[in-house]
Amino acid sequence: MTFEIQINNKPVTVKRGETILEVLNRIGIKVPTLCSMKGFAPTGMCRMCVIEVEGKENLIPACSFKVEEWMKIQTHSPRVVHARKTIVELLLANHPDDCLFCERNGNCELQTLAEELHVRERTIKGEKRKFYIDQSALSIVYDTDKCILCGRCIRVCRETIGNHTFDFAYRGKRMSVLPALNKNLNHSNCLQCGQCIMVCPTAALSDKVNFSEFKVFFHDVNKKAVAVYSPAVATTLAETLGLKSKASLHGILSAVFRKLGFDYIIDSSIGADLMLQMQCEEFISRLKANDKFPMVTSCCPSWVKYFEQLSIDNLHLLSSQKSSGQMAGHIAKRYISKKDNIAVENIITVSIVPCTSRKYEAKRPEMVIDGITDTDAVITTRELLRMIKMNGIDINNIEPEPWSGFFATNSSAGKLVNIAGGTTEAFIINLHYELTGKILDGLKPLNTRNLKEYKEFSLNIGDHLINFVIVNGLSGINKVIDIIKEGKKDIHFIEVMVCQGGCIAGGGQPLPASEESLKLRLKNIYEAVDSAAIRTCYENASLAEMLREEIIDKNNLRALFLKKEVLL
């Protein structure tokens, strides 16, 4: 049902049930918001979006009120603008004056508000909150002083991730956002997924910056630095930097990484192919033994951490390979060492991923074999972008450079594993090939490619009827936990990705996150997958060659899962 209301003295047709904010957005009137998030119920916390409604003594927040027939709204009257400005000034009065040295400088919602509302004087002064910076976690840094208590991180973690690491604690002047019992993040149940960073309007939450750690090696002639990058990073980079040419991304990336000081450039798809092959092998042996079902993917480190934190004794259900990224690092070191005759310890692998959690994963104990770490540093897409900026690289004008030559071929799996449902898709193609010798054509009817939070389906592969579950984000995780707890053996394969949408929506991607860019990434990746020449890891010549040469020991590619004691 529609009816008419007045906005800024003009009639506007609105639908019943719409919030005022939705209407304003629709008709091109911008009111500032801080606490509201698309797809979440409004909380009305920040009061930035206040507007004036005739007949109401007080201003009301546009995000939390629905339109009603009698409304005559002023969105930018002097009173309203003054109120918004005062609110920003009140926030700034309690905010560190740190913009010039801040992770979010130039990309901060608070900064933008101050700019837009023309705050030009420090009118309100007073005591500022002074707490601490929590550096304890391996992926996430929490600078409590910069928190403006908007609650967005709490809601994403609780409602999208389903983890509830943070909550508001205390009240009034003392209110803060804290993990359980005010223990540091490292002792909390935080999965390091970084989704809270993606919604934090300020630099209160950010990822741990690692790129300075390995820069020293660039100047050490004895060390060779290898960039192991995820295909998801490549598409994101192209999108974010507005790559105009359709020229080969590989060539441009080679040029970029060389300019940054890397000696070798490797696409982590090689790891994905190997991971899938081992996963298929393991699955088939479980099928034969009719044991250890369901097999649960272990390629998302945040999910693995979640599983390890649950106090249930079913860790053996996790598929036992390391993740593709870690495998890629492991392979790269051994392979380059052998081929170019460089001591393994002189090879530095830097993983470049859309994921913050990999920073944590890389430091897991099983990622060190004989004193050699699989991955020496992990940097996110955001960090890569920063390095590109710092080094003055203009990707629209650089000359593409030839590929490093190693692992030149890969299957589409390396791209698929970055999307929720993609690991299952790639797994099905490979398993089908392994069991029937044939390449499966088209998986669309299975709907692996929609982004539902929880889906179940069955498929005949060879002589087997196999039941799959795909979980996208942890909001559907309770069903999986029930399956596992009840020991349901008729579900065979469960894929879990913590970030909704998969790694293309990972916590290390550029800010701000938007639905449009997620759609664009999905489109680009699926296009590349569908036009890929090779679809199974068994057809990947580079992988086959490497395996033939027995440079690596598959036993070193097994993950080690251990129970974790944290405050849940």
Partner 1 sequence: MSSSAIAEILKNFQRNRSEALIPVLQEVQEADGYISELAVRQISEYLGIPSSKIYGVATFYNQFRFSPRGKFHIQVCFGTACHIMGSSTVLEVIERLLKIKDGQCSKDGLFSLEVGTCTGGCGQAPVIVVNGVFYGKVTEERIKQIIAEMQDEAI
Partner 2 sequence: MSISKELVKLILQKDKSVADNTIAQQIAVLRRESITKPVITVGSGTCGMIAGANETFKAIEEYITDRGIEAQLQKVGCIGICSMEPVVEIHIPGKTRLFLKNLTEEKVNDALDDAFHHIVPAEHTLMQIENGNLSAWPNVPNYNNVPFFALQNRIVLKNCGLINPYDIDQYLALGGYKAFIKTIRNYTALQICDLVEESGLRGRSGGGYTTGKKWKTALFEQSEQKYLICNAEESDPGAFMDRAIIEGDPHRVIEGMAIAAYAIGATKAFVYIRSEYTVAIQTLDTAIKQAKAAGLLGQDIQGSGFNFDISIRKGPGAFVCGEETALISSIEGDRGMPETKPPFPAKQGLFNKPTVVNNVETLANIAEIINRGPSWFSAIGTEKSKGTKIFAISGKIHHTSLVEVAMGTSFRQIIFDIAGGIKDDKHFKAMLLGGPVGFCLSEKDLDLHVDFDILRNHGLGVGSGGLIILDENNCIIDTLKYYMDFMQYQSCGKCIPCREGIKRLFEILTRITHKPLNSEDNSTLERIKGIIQLEEIAQVMKATSLCGLGQSVVNPILSALERFKHEFEEHLYERKCQAWICKQLRTFTIDVDACTGCSLCARKCPTSAIIGSKRMPYFIIEEKCIGCGYCIDACKFDAVFVK
Query: Considering only residues 47, 76, 338, 479, which one is a binding residue for partner 2 as defined by CB under 8 A?
Result: 47
Any contact of residue 151 with partner 1 (CB under 8 A)? no
Measured in whole angstroms, the distance separating CA 311 from the mean position of its chain's CA atoms is 26
Query: Considering only residues 36, 64, 75, 163, which one is a binding residue for ligand SF4 as defined by CB under 6 A?
Result: 163
Residue 397 tokens read as 């004008």
Q: Pattern of binders to partner 1 over 187-206, x per CB under 8 A? A: -xx-----------------
CB 568 within 8 A of CB 309: yes
Any contact of residue 80 with ligand SF4 (CB under 6 A)? no
**Could you say which residues in the range 408-427 bind ligand SF4, by CB under 6 A?**
none
* Stretch of 91-99, 398-406, 526-534, 560-568 lying at the interface with ligand SF4 (CB under 6 A): 91-99
Strands 176-179 and 264-267: unpaired
Measured in whole angstroms, the distance separating CA 119 from the mean position of its chain's CA atoms is 34
Residue whose tokens read 């939450």: 205
Write b or e for each residue in 300-315: b if 16 or more Cβ atoms lie within 10 A of its Cβ, otherwise e. bbbbbbbbbbbeeebb
Cα-Cα-Cα-Cα dihedral sign, residues 496, 332, 334, 139: negative
**Could you say which residues in the range 328-347 bind ligand SF4, by CB under 6 A?**
none
CB 168 within 8 A of CB 480: no
567 binding partner (options partner 2, ligand FES, partner 1, none; Cβ < 5 to 8 Å by kind): partner 1
93 binding partner (options ligand SF4, partner 1, partner 2, none; Cβ < 5 to 8 Å by kind): partner 2
For residue 465, with 0-12 CB atoms within 10 Å meaning exposed, 13-18 middle and 19 or more buried, which class applies? exposed
* Angstrom distance (rounded) from CA 410 to CA 415: 10
Q: Pattern of binders to ligand SF4 over 347-386, x per CB under 6 A? A: -------xx-x-----------------------------
Name the β-bridge partners of 457: 468
Any contact of residue 127 with partner 2 (CB under 8 A)? yes
Query: Considering only residues 49, 88, 140, 280, which one is a binding residue for ligand SF4 as defined by CB under 6 A?
Result: 140
CB 370 within 8 A of CB 376: no
Residue whose tokens read 């916590």: 507
Please count the residues of this chain forming the interface with ligand SF4, following the rule CB under 6 A.
53
DSSP-assigned states of every residue in 256-318:
HHHHHT-SEEEETHHHHHHHHHHHHHHHHHHHHHT-S-SEE----HHHHHHHHHS--S-GGGB
Give 527's Cβ-side CA count (13 Å radius): 7
Query: Considering only residues 168, 218, 527, 541, which one is a binding residue for partner 1 as defined by CB under 8 A?
Result: 168
Q: Cβ closer to ligand SF4: 199 or 270?
A: 199
123 binding partner (options partner 1, partner 2, ligand FES, none; Cβ < 5 to 8 Å by kind): partner 2
* Stretch of 35-43, 173-181, 286-294, 321-329 lying at the interface with partner 1 (CB under 8 A): 173-181
CB 498 within 8 A of CB 361: no
| Closest CA relative to residue 287, chosen from 558, 457, 489, 455 | 489
Any contact of residue 322 with ligand SF4 (CB under 6 A)? no
Least distance CB 300 / ligand SF4 (angstroms): 3
Any contact of residue 119 with partner 2 (CB under 8 A)? no
* Angstrom distance (rounded) from CA 191 to CA 137: 10
- Cβ contacts of 394 within 8 Å, gap of 6 or more: none
331 binding partner (options ligand FES, partner 2, ligand SF4, none; Cβ < 5 to 8 Å by kind): none
- Interface residues toward ligand SF4, by CB under 6 A: 95-96, 98-100, 102, 104-105, 108, 110-111, 140, 146-153, 156-157, 161, 163, 165-166, 177, 190-196, 199-205, 300-302, 354-355, 357, 497-499, 502-503, 506
- Interface residues toward partner 2, by CB under 8 A: 42-48, 50, 57-59, 61, 64-65, 79, 82-83, 86-87, 90-91, 93-94, 123-127, 148-149, 168, 170-175
